[in-house]
Amino acid sequence: MQKTRRLTESAMLIAIAIVLELISKMFIPEQPFGGQITIVAMLPIVLIAYRHGCRWGLVASFAYALLQMALGAKTVSAAFLPGYFGDGAMIGNAVVMCLLDYVLAYTLLALGGIFRNRIKKGGLSLMCGSIVALSARYLTHVLSGYILFSGWAEWYFTQEGFPAWGQQIVASLSPAALGWVYSAVYNGMYMVPEIILTAVAALVIAKAPKIVVKVS
Task: Tell me the pLDDT tens digit for each residue of 112-148.
Answer: 999 998 888 888 999 999 999 999 999 999 999 999 9
Rounded CA-CA distance 64/102 in Å is 9
DSSP 84: T
Residue 105's CATH number: 1.10.1760.20
Q: Tell me how many domains the chain contains.
A: 1
pLDDT in tens, 67-99: 999 988 888 887 887 777 765 567 888 899 999
pLDDT at 130: 97
Dmax over CA atoms of the chain, in Å, equals: 62
Identify whether 162 is part of a domain. Answer: no
Query: Which structural domain, as residue segments, surrounds residue 49?
Result: 2-148+195-212
Most confidently predicted of 103-107, 122-126, 153-157, 203-207? 103-107
Let me know if residue 64 belongs to a domain.
yes
Is 189 domain-assigned?
no
pLDDT at residue number 122: 82
In a domain? residue 37: yes
- Interval 190-208: pLDDT, tens: 999 999 999 999 999 998 8
pLDDT in tens, 139-149: 999 999 999 98
Residue 183 lies in a domain: no
Average pLDDT value over all residues in the chain: 91
What's the predicted TM-score (pTM) here? 0.93
Q: Taking residues 34-40, what's their average pLDDT?
A: 93
Tell me, what's the pLDDT at 89? 64
Question: What is the reported pLDDT for 115?
Answer: 94
Q: What is the C-alpha separation between 215 and 48, in angstroms, rounded?
A: 10
Cα–Cα distance, 18 to 20 (Å, whole number): 5
**pLDDT higher for 213 or 95?**
95
End-to-end CA distance of the chain: 12
